[in-house]
Amino acid sequence: MKNMLKIIGITVIILVIGFSFTACEEELDSELVAKWYHSQEDADGPKLVEAYEFKADGNWTALKISIGKYTISGRTITTTLLGIRTGSIDYAIDGTKLILSNMKDAPGIVPGTYYKPKN
């Protein structure tokens, strides 16, 4: 009976860990995962350096420099560097347009409008 409880306990731990990883992945907005440029012309033309890139693994870059990690809660991006929260900013996506506003603290992301390629 004792061995059976150990196996059940390990199974429960594995299930809880599995669900927590799944929950993290679901929090990232697939529309946000892209390279974002300063104008639609920059996004659709010859590729210049993007202003921001939000990656599916939770990392983000600014001007191709790796900055740290991000998470999503509702319509707010929260950034961390070395595991320390650096700030947050609200976002909205309308087609190929990313609108960043209401910066809190210093997330390393500048409020404004950014664009991803149409194709």
In the chain, where the domains are located: 1-29, 31-115
Mark the ranges of the chain whose per-residue pLDDT is less than 70: 1-27
Residue 48 has a pLDDT of 83
3 state SS of 108: coil
Residue 72 has a pLDDT of 95
Residue 22 has a pLDDT of 30
CATH assignment of 31-115? 2.40.128
In whole angstroms, what is the distance from residue 6 CA to residue 69 CA?
36
Identity of the amino acid at 79: T
Q: Is the full-model pTM beyond 0.85?
A: no
User: Measuring CA to CA, which residue among 35, 33, 23, 37 is closest to residue 77?
Assistant: 33
